[in-house]
Structure 1
Amino acid sequence: MSASVAAAAAAISGYHNSSKRDHTEQLPLTPQRVQVSVLPVFSSYEKQKRDDWNSFQEYMKNHNPHLTLSQCNGAHVLEFLHYLDQFGKTKIHAQNCSYFGKLYQPGPCPCPLKESWNILNGVICRLRAAFEENFGFYKMNPFGVGSVTLYLREVRYVQAKARGYIVYEKNKRMK
């Protein structure tokens, strides 16, 4: 091991082993006097959240007319969810399909592929969290409005029914 590599390793290990240093200090320098930067490690959830946020911003930029986040409302979020349906891989049987309500599909059918409820719900949850992180206005969050929640509930119901799962209706309580 060369002397410069050993010095860099000692400097880095000394930096990590020192627990009394405050976080405002500069990072250690390598022998070439280049500052070493430590990149933050993001979890897979954070990466998905960032990717979903970027794709929603790209959708708003490509929307005609162009949208800003301040103009965005629940209707635009629903348009985005319909846009995501074209990339889905889940077969959702129509009511007139012979496989409607059956758990297993023995043969091919012309029913469309759509995005599954689990994916849509995850995207909305991550977008809601990203909006609150970036702007902090949870009351003005377009991803948490009632129309989006109702749409997701309806998608879950329709997909469960199309797959043959037993769907129970909730009893409405009298006030």
Structure 2
Amino acid sequence: MTSSNTSNKGKGIAEGSSPPQPPTLSRYESQKRRDWNTFCQYLRTKKPPVHISECDSNHILNFLGYLDQFGKTKIHIQGCVFFGQQETSGQCNCPLKQAWGSLDALIGRLRAAYEENGGLPEQNPFASGGIRYFLREVRDSQAKARGVLYKKTKKKNPMKGVDTGTSTTTSN
């Protein structure tokens, strides 16, 4: 045996024998999977456990409330000297909560995951009016606490420069 044969002896086995790796998931897909698994685990810990097919908006709202304890955004309460101020320079005892944007993104990922895991779009509890109302209330209350007001703006039609929400058509 020559030295070149001996040095290549295990090379083919090492290169050819490893199983193909599944494609790596995007950051969004990984987060969606993690969120879905966390929500399903949350449902399993309920007494009695709740199957995803029995899940409703109340379970989701309770889950969002549970997540608030892990929040990192200071939300000033009415009566706090910093309530309604955009810039705060001092300390206060107001609670840390989940930011509205984080909750909104979470619900979006869970809504997509529900349907990817066999749920029907028309029965998606993450798309219910109660959840949309809750998110709107969180957004508005957090904006008020920070002294920022959200105003709904109309989108312009880029082709005509006309408000898309105000255009009407008439039939002859």
**Please, what TM-score do these two structures have when normalized by structure 2?**
0.79
Amino acid in the other structure paired with 1:108: Q
Alignment partner for residue 21 of structure 2, among 17, 27, 38? 38
CA distance in 2, matches of 1:92, 1:35: 51
Query: Equivalent residue for 1:117?
Result: 100
CA deviation after TM superposition for structure 1 residue 3, in Å: 2.4
Q: Which runs of 5+ in 1 are unaligned?
A: 13-29, 171-175
Question: Moved runs in structure 1, 4+ residues, more than 6 A?
Answer: none
Alignment partner for residue 76 of structure 1, among 59, 66, 87? 59
Are the structure 2 counterparts of residues 169 and 7 from structure 1 closer, same or farther at C-alpha, using a change threshold of 3 Å? closer
Aligned partners of 2:140 and 2:149 also within 8 Å: no
Amino acid in the other structure paired with 1:98: V
Are the structure 2 counterparts of residues 58 and 136 from structure 1 closer, same or farther at C-alpha, using a change threshold of 3 Å? closer
Query: Equivalent residue for 1:90?
Result: 73
Are the structure 2 counterparts of residues 53 and 38 from structure 1 closer, same or farther at C-alpha, using a change threshold of 3 Å? same
CA deviation after TM superposition for structure 1 residue 70, in Å: 1.2
In the alignment of these two chains, the number of paired residues is: 149
CA deviation after TM superposition for structure 1 residue 38, in Å: 2.3
2:139 is equivalent to residue 134 of structure 1: no
Instruction: Report the secondary structure of 1:65's partner residue.
Output: coil
CA distance in 2, matches of 1:36, 1:6: 15
CA distance in 2, matches of 1:152, 1:137: 22
Are the structure 2 counterparts of residues 167 and 41 from structure 1 closer, same or farther at C-alpha, using a change threshold of 3 Å? closer
CA deviation after TM superposition for structure 1 residue 63, in Å: 1.2
CA deviation after TM superposition for structure 1 residue 105, in Å: 1.3
User: Identity, % of aligned pairs?
Assistant: 47
Amino acid in the other structure paired with 1:117: W
CA deviation after TM superposition for structure 1 residue 36, in Å: 2.4
Amino acid in the other structure paired with 1:118: G
Alignment partner for residue 155 of structure 1, among 132, 138, 155? 138
